[in-house]
Chain A
């Protein structure tokens, strides 16, 4: 049998091409991160990429307050409170709401589901003015709670939809078996269904946390007091309009801001890939 070079190596060549294409597509992002890391640890970069002198000066915001900016740890705590608050509210509501949408046949169920999808597609920015008045009326303007509630309520429709999908995957028989075994419907939900939708709860929780952690627009609009700033606002401060941007500082703060996100994905990506509900043999 005679095969040309291309035929003999077709598999290898194909893989090489795929990897090359993927690499080219992702390279701008990679380059960005590399630049971010290098810049944050150096005095300056020459020729774009070559650090002149390694330093920790850019990270000084961790141990000393930058003039005109709040304490970094207070800001980090605010960010964490915002993220955890959004996460807590969203998990609580969606794990119940998803169950109801999946299991109960109440009047208006299907229109409610359509409405949820429409809500998710609705750009939150367009609500700004109305929300401003709402928060002002409720005296929640310039509070973390205001932003937490706002953010959570915008995330809940999507999360409910996700959770409904997870509940849909659980056969009715498991619930029936629980009822026959002597439990009330609520107990069955808590003891049988909730453990089985754990992956769904994890997904919802992570996305809620990250979206709270990275929230900028609402914080920027509805929070004025410096002691309530979150990290996104803190970073934004350094690249403000009338200021000479200290890129060393910006990159260091940016990197600091990213740490939880990176940790989260490190631990969780494995679980997210193998999301399945199993155990009942059909």
Chain B
């Protein structure tokens, strides 16, 4: 299986810079997710990898071979689309056999391979049906079978699960991951769902506005987001941001102040910023009832029970809503005065202008 190397990839549509200078590498057999909001350039990047779009500039290498000008049919990629893109006028069998027929493989061999892959994906009883007679989940499996049957060197996924209902999505998530690990095919997976990226990929490339913002393992990206965008995009609920804290650096600690809130961070910050944004993950904060040091006062706005835990929404005195995981055994009542106590060693600080992470 090849590795993929993308160097300074740019794709413009007229004046629109869909992809604007993206570089990353996918190792042999690795599963990489391209994550970002809609219109961030992740799908365009995927389509250039497939050879459907030609890059405006930049290079794409499969192993060490420059494939910029190689048409899709010679790239040996399998692709799964969001709307499945099954050929409506063909049966499931014909759909799966279609890529093999392009290769002039003998009939018996085609039949053998189609049945084999259909068995693996539990759709061998549907081979005579047409796509319109299948459920969304079944169509998804057919699309997957069609991508896999030609034994591709690279697998590309374009939001393959977003049209499925929540339960099926969870199921297919595990199944695709298992399949990828079993077959060891180099895979690139486009999604806007951070949970999918976190659970499936060995590395995540976070995209925003045509640029690659951060590339790393799920843990790296979660623990050390590069800027406010990544911090807000990864994690559910996302990182809470509290703006307008003044900074005083003292020996051994940094003191953040806002109104009568004082947060003492046990670390000397190297910065000349006057003001910072504080980022707190929902699980890195307690809700308490009595006033104490390093606490932010607020009022309970609403409580969202999730069964295993609850999300307490607290409105600060400045009106920001902060989402915090709470203990389902102690559900606070709405309107109650509470204090938020963040875990100071896990807190993130951001430059309010550049939105870059400074701690």
Q: Kindly list chain B residues whose C-beta atoms are within 8 Å of the C-beta of A173.
A: 81-83, 85
Chain B residue total in the interface (Cβ 8 A): 33
Residue of A nearest to B152 (CB): A180
Which residues of A in the span 179-201 have a Cβ within 8 Å of any Cβ on B?
179-184, 187, 192, 195-196
Task: Say how far A190's CB is from chain B's closest CB, in angstroms.
Answer: 12
Interface residues on A, range: 20 to 34
Q: When the two chains form their complex, are residues B132 and A179 in contact, meaning their CB atoms are under 8 A apart?
A: no
Given contacts A182-B72, A279-B89, A280-B131, 9 further A-B contacts (CB under 8 A): A176-B72, A181-B99, A182-B99, A196-B89, A278-B132, A279-B87, A279-B131, A280-B84, A281-B163
Cα A195 to Cα B89 in complex, Å, equals 7
A41 to B131, CA, bound (A): 53
A192 to B88, CA, bound (A): 9
Q: How far is the CA of A196 from the CA of B78 in the complex (A)?
A: 23
* Least CB separation from A282: chain B residue: B83
Q: A177-B79, A180-B78, A180-B79 are in contact. Are A279 and B52 (CB under 8 A)?
A: no
B98 within 8 A of A: yes
Q: Across the two chains, which residue of chain A brings its CB closest to B131? A: A279
Considering only residues 30-76 of chain B, those with a C-beta below 8 Å from chain A are 47, 50-52, 71-73, 75
Distance in Å: Cβ of A254 to nearest Cβ of chain B:
41
With CB as the reference atom, state the residue of chain A lying closest to B135.
Answer: A281
Q: Confirm or deny: A174 has a beta carbon within 8 angstroms of a beta carbon on chain B.
A: yes
Given contacts A182-B150, A195-B89, A279-B88, contact A177 B73 (CB under 8 A): no
A171 CB within 8 Å of chain B: yes
Task: Output the nearest chain B residue to A195 by Cβ-Cβ distance.
Answer: B89
Instruction: Report Cα–Cα, A174/B130, bound state, in Å.
Output: 15
Question: Given that A181-B146, A278-B132 are known contacts, is A176 also in contact with B85, CB under 8 Å in the complex?
Answer: yes
Complex formed: what's the CA distance from A184 to B71 in Å?
Answer: 9
Interface string of B77-101 (1 = CB under 8 A from A): 1110111111111000000001100
Q: Is the CB of A177 within 8 A of B85?
A: yes
Alpha-carbon distance A278/B82, docked complex (angstroms): 17
Q: How far is the CA of A282 from the CA of B85 in the complex (A)?
A: 9
Contacts of B52 in A (CB 8 A): 176, 179-180
